[in-house]
Amino acid sequence: MQFPPADRTLVCADHTHHFAQTGSGATTVVLIHGSLCDYRYWRWQLNGLSDTFRVIAPSLRGYWPNAFTRADAKFSIAQHARDLRVFISGINAGRPVHLVGHSRGAQVTLELALAAPDLVASLTLADPGFRLAGEAEAPLPHRDMAALLQGDDADAALSGFVDRVNGAGTWRQMTSWFKTMVRDNAATLLSQAQEPQPVVDPAHFADLPFPLLLLGGANSPSRYRTRLDALSLACPQAHRVTIPLAAHGMNLANPRAFNTALSSFVENTEIYTRV
Between 84 and 151, name the one with better pLDDT: 84
Q: What percent of the chain has pLDDT over 70?
A: 92
| CB-based contacts of 244, cutoff 8 Å, min separation 6 | 218, 254, 257
pLDDT at 107: 97
Taken in order of first residue, the domains within the chain and their CATH numbers are 8-138+197-274 (3.40.50.1820)
Count each helix (H run) and each strand (E run) in the chain, helices first. 11, 10
- By CB atoms closer than 10 A (0-12, 13-18, 19+), residue 229 is middle
User: Looking at the whole model, is its pTM more than 0.75?
Assistant: yes
Q: Is the CB of residue 215 less than 8 Å from the CB of residue 241? A: yes
DSSP state of 15: E
User: What is the pLDDT at residue 150?
Assistant: 64
> Strands 54-59, 15-22: parallel, antiparallel or unpaired by DSSP?
antiparallel
pLDDT tens per residue across span 17-62: 999 999 998 999 999 999 999 999 999 999 999 999 999 999 999 9
Strands 28-32 and 97-102: parallel
In the predicted model, what is the mean pLDDT of residues 6-17? 92
Backbone angles phi and psi of 21, in degrees to 5? -140, 135
Q: How confident is the model at residue 151 (pLDDT cuts 50, 70, 90)?
A: low
- Rounded to a whole number of angstroms, the distance between the first and last alpha carbons of the chain is 35
- What is the rounded CA–CA span in Å between residue 99 and residue 58? 12
Q: What is the pLDDT of residue 109?
A: 98
Overall average pLDDT of the 85-109 stretch: 95
- pLDDT computed for residue 206 by the predictor: 86
pLDDT of residue 275: 40
What are the pLDDT digits (tens) for 152-193? 667 777 888 888 888 888 989 899 999 999 999 999 988 988
Read off the pLDDT of residues 102-115 as tens digits, 9 standing for 90 and up: 999 999 999 999 99
| pLDDT score, position 159 | 85
